[in-house]
């Protein structure tokens, strides 16, 4: 059981060497995870491009109005996302909006950014002169040193 106030003797700062080792190990693990995600993404893209072989899913896609040439696994996935979103699943609604490029959160952030930019532009006069003051560093006007 933990003691009240903790045990400060257990909180030892990391040395440069241990920090370097942990950082290196974290970087290696991060690289492995990125490669794993990339592989999964590539396989999913490949599978989505293949024709759908499940008869039940094919019938559903044809009932939704898709042509025979559009009966791919990607279309089946899109139809499943659509049906889930239409059924009220918040996660699938969000996914569908992201895929359509209509993510409300991003649109709100863009709107806020534009408003902030307008405020900044309104505060700064456009005809103002920007002056740069340089310290006297002992050089004359020609760029050489004073004698």
- Whether 67 has a pLDDT exceeding 80, the answer reads yes
pLDDT at 14: 79
CA distances from 7 to 3, 4, 88 (A): 7, 8, 49
Nearest to 119, CA basis, from 130, 127, 129, 111: 111
Q: What is the pLDDT of residues 26-43, one digit of tens each?
A: 999 999 999 999 999 999
pLDDT, one tens digit per residue, over 41-65 is: 999 999 999 999 999 999 999 999 9
């Amino acid at each position: 059981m933990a003691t009240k106030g903790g045990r400060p003797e257990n909180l030892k700062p990391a040395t440069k060497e241990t920090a370097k080792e942990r950082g290196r190990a974290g970087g290696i693990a991060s690289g492995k995870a990125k490669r794993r995600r990339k592989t999964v993404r590539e396989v999913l893209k490949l599978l989505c491009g293949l024709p759908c072989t499940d008869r039940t899913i094919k019938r559903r896609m044809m009932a939704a109005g898709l042509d025979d040439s559009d009966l791919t696994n990607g279309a089946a996935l899109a139809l499943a996302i659509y049906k889930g979103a239409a059924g009220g699943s918040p996660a699938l609604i969000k996914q569908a909006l992201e895929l359509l490029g209509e993510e409300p959160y991003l649109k709100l952030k863009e709107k806020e950014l534009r408003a902030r930019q307008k405020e900044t532009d309104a505060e700064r006069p456009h005809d103002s002169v920007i002056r740069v003051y340089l310290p006297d560093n002992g050089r004359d006007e020609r760029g050489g040193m004073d004698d």
